[in-house]
């Protein structure tokens, strides 16, 4: 008798017990017919096609339920851990554009919130002073003879050095060049990095400040490849943080990396979350929850399919009995899974059998317990359980000589 036949025999016995209620569980009995092909070599004494009588109270020992395969979509809840990071689109650098000295540093601390147009520092640069003098000279010469183009060129040069137009207008109005000029912030945000101190000489290209607008932040969880079928751009996400217990932040999936990480076997995705009050801080740990629906198909409970290592089995009611049927499993949800082949919509199958185990030795032990509760004996393959070697009759080897002791 094959392992699957043994499994089916036990399931038929247990299910019949559960399916027939009894007013008197100790006296009313249920008859289950076992086909000749299911004759057991595990010691069950039953004739070909002979009935086995058991009481309905023994159904509690079986713990078997049934389910009907339906056409539906699997529902999956995906949870992943991530960190809060700044929105890369809202990052900005402030660089030096001319050789000079930072004579006065107005933004002198990291982490401060600055507004666009706020002065960051004042710089003394000989080239900037020379450009101011050229502008004022062109203005004094008056219009004509190409002086207008000189004025425009001098103004443009100052603007390219990040000198704002209001400062240029004030220089023209005063008629005198300024030794140092203020450099204004082009961005609104928090200063994440400050790479300059007062009195420092700077050169074109030196990064002085890194500013991030944190009014929108990203959360980037890693999603394992088995869950990618449930995730799509535009999907809603719930984000929870240890800093705010019981509070849920809502966002949307805006991007998924096109490459799988070969080490983690996961894809990094991006969730965008509004952060107008700046409560979410970069590098905070977050738990992301995504709820999705899979492809519609034949669905059964997760417990209805038994993985044996080589195949997946479902125990289906067919031809008056329970048939162990190999099935091909598709997507898995929280409590259901999709069957690609082997089970059709409307099929009745075993949904759970908690008294069973997935090894033959454990199955034999479970069968023995069930049969003993039925008042039956279990013949363990002809083994004589009454007699056996006794400890007094056993000859123990001598540890020194290797021989036996009398």
Task: Check residue 324 and give its pLDDT.
Answer: 81
Query: What mean pLDDT comes out for the span 12-23?
Result: 44
Which residues make beta-bridge pairs with 291? 77
CB atoms within 10 A of CB 104: 15
Which residues make beta-bridge pairs with 23? none
Chain mean pLDDT for the chain = 77
pLDDT digits (tens, 9 = 90+) for 185-224: 999 999 999 999 999 999 999 999 999 999 999 999 999 9
Which residues make beta-bridge pairs with 348? 68
Structure tokens given for 358: 């997935």
Helix pair angle (360-373, 3-19), 10° resolution = 30
- What pTM was estimated for this model as a whole? 0.66
Task: Check residue 316 and give its pLDDT.
Answer: 84
> Does the pLDDT at position 89 exceed 80?
yes
Q: Which long-range contacts (CB under 8 A, 24 or more apart) does 17-22 make?
A: 17/54, 17/55, 17/56, 17/58, 17/59, 17/61, 17/62, 18/59, 18/62, 18/64, 18/65, 20/56, 21/56, 22/55, 22/56, 22/57
Is residue 314 very low, low, confident or very high in pLDDT (cuts 50, 70, 90)? confident
Among residues 161, 166, 209, 192, the alpha carbon closest in space to that of 86 is found at 192
Q: Note the helical H segments in 175-255.
A: none
Query: What mean pLDDT comes out for the span 393-404?
Result: 43
Task: Check residue 63 and give its pLDDT.
Answer: 62
Is residue 369 very low, low, confident or very high in pLDDT (cuts 50, 70, 90)? low
Query: What mean pLDDT comes out for the span 297-312?
Result: 86
Is residue 65 very low, low, confident or very high in pLDDT (cuts 50, 70, 90)? confident
Among residues 374, 361, 369, the alpha carbon closest in space to that of 6 is found at 361
C-beta of residue 297 within 8 angstroms of C-beta of residue 237: no
C-beta of residue 206 within 8 angstroms of C-beta of residue 195: yes
Q: Domains of the chain by range and CATH?
A: 1-63+358-382 (no CATH), 77-87+215-294 (2.40.30.170), 92-211 (2.40.50.100)
Query: What mean pLDDT comes out for the span 168-180?
Result: 92
Rounded distance between C-alpha atoms, residue 82 and residue 289, angstroms? 11
Percent of the chain surpassing pLDDT 70 = 69
> Does the pLDDT at position 61 exceed 80?
no
């Amino acid at each position: 008798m094959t392992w699957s036949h043994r499994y089916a025999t036990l399931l038929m016995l247990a299910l019949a017990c559960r399916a027939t209620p009894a007013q008197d569980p100790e006296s009313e009995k249920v008859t289950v017919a076992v086909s000749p092909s299911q004759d057991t070599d595990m010691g069950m004494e039953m004739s070909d096609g002979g009935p086995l009588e058991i009481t309905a109270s023994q159904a509690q020992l079986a713990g078997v339920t049934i389910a009907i395969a339906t056409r539906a979509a699997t529902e999956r809840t995906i949870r992943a851990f991530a960190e809060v990071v700044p929105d890369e689109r809202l990052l900005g650098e402030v660089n030096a554009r001319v050789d000079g000295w930072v004579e006065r540093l107005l933004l002198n601390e990291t982490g401060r919130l600055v507004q666009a147009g706020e002065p960051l520092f004042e710089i003394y640069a000989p080239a900037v002073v020379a450009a101011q003098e050229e502008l004022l000279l062109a203005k004094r010469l008056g219009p004509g003879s190409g002086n207008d183009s000189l004025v425009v060129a001098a103004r443009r040069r100052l603007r390219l050095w990040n000198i704002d137009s209001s400062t240029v207008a004030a220089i023209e109005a005063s008629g005198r060049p300024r030794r140092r000029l203020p450099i204004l912030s082009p961005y609104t945000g928090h200063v994440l990095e400050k790479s300059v101190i007062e009195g420092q000489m700077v050169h074109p290209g030196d990064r002085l400040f890194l500013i991030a607008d944190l009014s929108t932040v990203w959360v980037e969880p890693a999603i394992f490849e088995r869950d990618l079928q449930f995730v799509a751009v535009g999907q809603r996400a719930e984000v929870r943080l240890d800093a705010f217990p019981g509070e849920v932040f809502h966002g949307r999936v805006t991007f998924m990396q096109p490459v799988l990480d070969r080490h983690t076997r996961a894809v990094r995705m991006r969730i965008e979350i509004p952060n107008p009050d700046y409560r979410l801080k970069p590098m905070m740990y977050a738990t992301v929850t995504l709820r999705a629906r899979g492809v519609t198909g034949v669905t059964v409970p997760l417990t209805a399919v038994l993985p044996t290592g080589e195949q997946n089995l479902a125990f289906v009611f067919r031809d008056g009995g329970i048939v162990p049927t190999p099935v091909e499993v598709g997507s898995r949800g929280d409590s259901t899974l999709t069957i690609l082949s082997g089970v059709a919509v409307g099929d009745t199958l075993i949904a759970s059998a908690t008294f069973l185990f997935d090894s033959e030795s454990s199955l034999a032990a479970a069968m023995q317990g069930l049969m003993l509760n039925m008042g039956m004996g279990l013949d363990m393959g002809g083994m004589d359980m009454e007699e056996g070697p006794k400890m007094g009759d056993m000859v123990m080897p001598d540890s020194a000589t290797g021989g036996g002791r009398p």
